[in-house]
Amino acid sequence: MVTITRVFVLVICVLAVRTHAYSISGGQLVEDFTSLDGADLTNTTGLWNTVTSKAEAGRVADAGGGTHRPISFGDGSDGILDTSGGYSFDTDAKPNGYNFKRVNITGGTITVTGSNPLIIRSLTTVNITPTIQVNGTAGSDGVANGSSTAPSGGTAVTCPAVGGAGGTASAGAVGNGADGVIYTGATDASGGLGQVNGTNGDDGGATSALPGANFDNATAFICGGGGGGGGGHRNTVGFQYATGGAGGAGGGTVRITAVGSLTVGTIEAEGGNGGNGITSDGANCSGAGAGGHGGAVWLQTLADIPLAIPAPSVTNGTGGTSACGGAASDGTVGKIRLDSSPGNRPAHSNVADYDTDDVFPSRSYVIQSAAYDLGTLNANFKTAPTVTQTLNSGTISLSYAGSVDGSVFSDYESDITKLSGKNYRYLKFKINITTAAIAGASPEVSRIVIDFADSGLAKVDLKLTAGCGTIQNGESGWIFILLFLTAAYFRLRARTNHAT
């Protein structure tokens, strides 16, 4: 007698479970805005505020002043920055700024490279302990009878505003100092003239480009311009010469915005000093380089800016001196702006500061969710969601879209019950907020509760050996027939083998 054993293995395909800050269980989806897990930041124009756990209008500085000064907190695409080992910011790699979900740098060294402003945005908090430096470096001193190479101007970071090179000089020729460079990369007439016999080379001058009064346009939030280089000098008697001192570079630009608390250490955006002129023959000298202007520092938060935050340094570079007396032009001090809630704010600024507590009047915004996986085969929504909201004299409306696969969604419906019975497994919502006619607090949503049920087995994924198969409604009868016939076949085989 031969016994043949046949074993059928039926494995249900189980989806991986991921933990979110929102909750989906027991036929209920709850979004309370305590994390960004459910946010579609790409399509959100308002603010998904996890600090206050609210969906609200986009924020501006000085909403009551009649000027729309929007604050961008970014889309969080650079993730969470949490380190005690310092960080290297490359503004050429991020010309439009960094977009973090949270920033926490508690130690190490911070380096900044690149020719664009350093912009750091955070959807929650910023805490930076190490010093941030975007200083312009000093220009080189002139050289007497040893080199005919032009001394180099100071170098800049986050900006092309380098200092002008010192004027060349040699036994046979003399040159003018180079002009300083401004924030656009263009030169600004500031180089000193080279001189021959009995007259010192001219000192370099400061450029005209300075940060503006409020930083709200492209010509206001800029780095300081670099100083011009001093002219060279040559004495035909004895062929003695001296190259001019070079100009200092301008201070750079730093902007940091945070939805929540913003705490930083020292920020430096200082102009570089000009290089010194050098005597060529004991009686005459080359010109000195001018100092670079200080840069611009801009801090913004919806919270308070702590009074203990050190004052950012935007000092100017000083002009170099001539060995024959006198000095080149100094740069000018840069600018600082601090925007925050109207609580205590450090008195560090030297341009207008603005409050960030109110929203701009009569503006519309969208706060959109990502797709929520309800885990259903055929979602059924029998009742309208429960929405916890505060209008603050504005308006709020919600709409919903469903999807079978999480990729292609239906049109948005204000009545969620219309999405029932369509084999939807995924759901997302959109909040439309319009602010009041007068500047004030934002309309806000703090909680959305959506009840749902599964209408039935619209689809079950089964794994038969290596791959997943699909049983649709109406197909289960065929499956049972197949199983019955299979079982009957093997029962018949078993009897045949036994008889044999």
Residues 7-34 pLDDT 10s: 333 333 333 334 567 999 999 999 999 9
- Pairing verdict, β 335-339 and 118-122: unpaired
Contact 168, 232 (CB under 8 A): yes
Q: Which residues pair with 12 in a beta bridge?
A: 462
What gap in Å lies between CA 170 and CA 27, rounded to an integer?
86
Position 418 scores a pLDDT of 98
* Exposure of 414 in the CB half-sphere (CA atoms within 13 A): 3
Position 485 scores a pLDDT of 53
What gap in Å lies between CA 9 and CA 127, rounded to an integer?
55
Question: For tokens 């080379």, what's the residue?
Answer: 201
Sign of CA dihedral 27, 33, 36, 41: positive
Of the candidates 356, 320, 333, which has an alpha carbon nearest to the alpha carbon of residue 243?
320
Position 492 scores a pLDDT of 47
Contact 121, 99 (CB under 8 A): yes
Task: Report the run of H or E that residue 486 belongs to, with start and end.
Answer: helix 476-499
Contact 109, 84 (CB under 8 A): no
What gap in Å lies between CA 276 and CA 371, rounded to an integer?
64
What gap in Å lies between CA 117 and CA 160, rounded to an integer?
10
Pick out the chain residues at pLDDT < 70.
1-20, 457-500
Beta strand extents in 21-97 (DSSP E only): 23-25, 28-31, 47-49, 54-56, 80-83, 87-90
Contact 72, 98 (CB under 8 A): no
Count CB-CB contacts under 10 A for residue 455: 16
